[in-house]
């Protein structure tokens, strides 16, 4: 909301839409008209829809019933959101970094985005850090989530919200998930993994050793620092 001498001049309503919701064609027009009435200023709507099919659905015109009164919701699509992989860029614009994770976190670039955005979140006030971490974590695929947990340990991230995820129990896919996360972290940090090393990682069945390798991968300068313990 922008202010002019203490008075609102425009209200922007932002909604993240992850799936189709038949109530939205009714509630979105209500949000706008009620906000316009309450604040006595123009009101706008922006729908954030990472999924292309959901985005198409959100963009459909909404007939209100009065001739000429048609709402065409503006939609921010995945293709409109840049992939933020530069930590410096994420520090300058942490909101853009989090939005990038929301749009692209389930892709193969999820771990790379997380590695860039995490330091930016760490430097924020606690309230925003918790909110942004929640959005970041829940936007990632499973492998990227595990990579994020490892990076949090490497950065000694201290918020109570983050600790909750670090300490959470492992599921039945612990080993497989840790292997995927380890390879994702190594790839995100530009550390080459020869075929022999990849086979060694995939064949490793000791979850504690895999967790140890994953933690090292978050801060190591090379593969030898990660796999330096005997197999």
Q: Are 111 and 185 in contact (CB under 8 A)?
A: yes
Residue 75 phi, psi dihedral angles, 5° rounding: -125, 125
CA contacts within 13 A on the Cβ side of 56: 2
In sequence order, which residues have a C-beta less than 8 Å from that of residue 151 and are 6 or more positions away? 114, 115, 118, 185, 218
In a domain, 106, yes or no: yes
Looking at 80, 101, 135, the residue that finishes a domain is 80
In sequence order, which residues have a C-beta less than 8 Å from that of residue 66 and are 6 or more positions away? none
Q: According to the model, what pLDDT value does residue 70 have?
A: 96
Integer CA distances (angstroms), 170 to 35, 134, 146, 167, 203, in order: 45, 19, 10, 9, 19
In the numeric block, the tokens 């995490």 are attached to: 118
In a domain, 170, yes or no: yes
Residues linked to residue 62 through DSSP beta bridges, in sequence order: 71
Same domain, 127 and 59: no
Q: According to the model, what pLDDT value does residue 149 have?
A: 77
Looking at 30, 54, 80, the residue that finishes a domain is 80
Same domain, 114 and 221: yes
The span from the first CA to the last CA of the chain, in angstroms, equals 58
In a domain, 231, yes or no: no
Q: Are 115 and 145 in contact (CB under 8 A)?
A: no
Same domain, 112 and 219: yes
Q: Are 130 and 159 in contact (CB under 8 A)?
A: yes
Same domain, 166 and 56: no
Looking at 37, 53, 80, the residue that finishes a domain is 80
Same domain, 162 and 191: yes
In which domain, by residue range, is 76 found?
2-80
Same domain, 138 and 76: no
- Helix axis angle, 126-139 to 142-154, nearest 10°: 150
Q: Mean pLDDT per segment of 10 residues, for the chain of length 231 residues?
A: 68 88 93 91 91 94 94 94 94 94 90 91 82 85 83 56 47 68 85 89 84 86 81 50
């Amino acid at each position: 909301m922008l202010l002019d001498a203490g008075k609102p001049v425009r209200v922007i309503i932002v909604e993240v839409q992850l799936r189709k919701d038949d109530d939205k064609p009714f509630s979105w027009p209500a949000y706008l008209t009620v906000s316009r009435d309450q604040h006595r200023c123009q009101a706008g709507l922006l729908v954030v829809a990472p999924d292309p099919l959901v985005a198409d659905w959100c963009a459909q015109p909404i007939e209100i019933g009065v001739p000429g009164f048609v709402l065409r919701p503006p939609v921010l699509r995945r293709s409109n959101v840049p992939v933020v992989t530069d930590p410096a860029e994420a520090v300058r614009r942490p909101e853009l970094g989090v939005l990038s994770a929301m749009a692209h976190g389930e892709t193969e670039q999820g771990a790379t985005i997380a590695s860039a955005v995490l330091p930016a979140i760490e430097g924020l006030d606690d309230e925003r850090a918790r909110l942004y971490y929640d959005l970041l974590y829940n936007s990632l695929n499973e492998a990227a989530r595990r990579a994020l947990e490892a990076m949090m340990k490497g950065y000694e991230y201290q918020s109570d919200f983050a600790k909750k995820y670090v300490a959470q129990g492992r599921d039945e896919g612990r080993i497989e998930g840790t292997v995927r996360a380890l390879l994702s972290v190594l790839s995100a940090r530009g550390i080459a993994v020869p075929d022999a090393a990849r086979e060694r990682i995939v064949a490793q069945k000791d979850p504690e050793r895999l967790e140890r390798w994953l933690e090292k991968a978050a801060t190591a300068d090379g593969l030898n620092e990660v796999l330096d313990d005997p197999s």
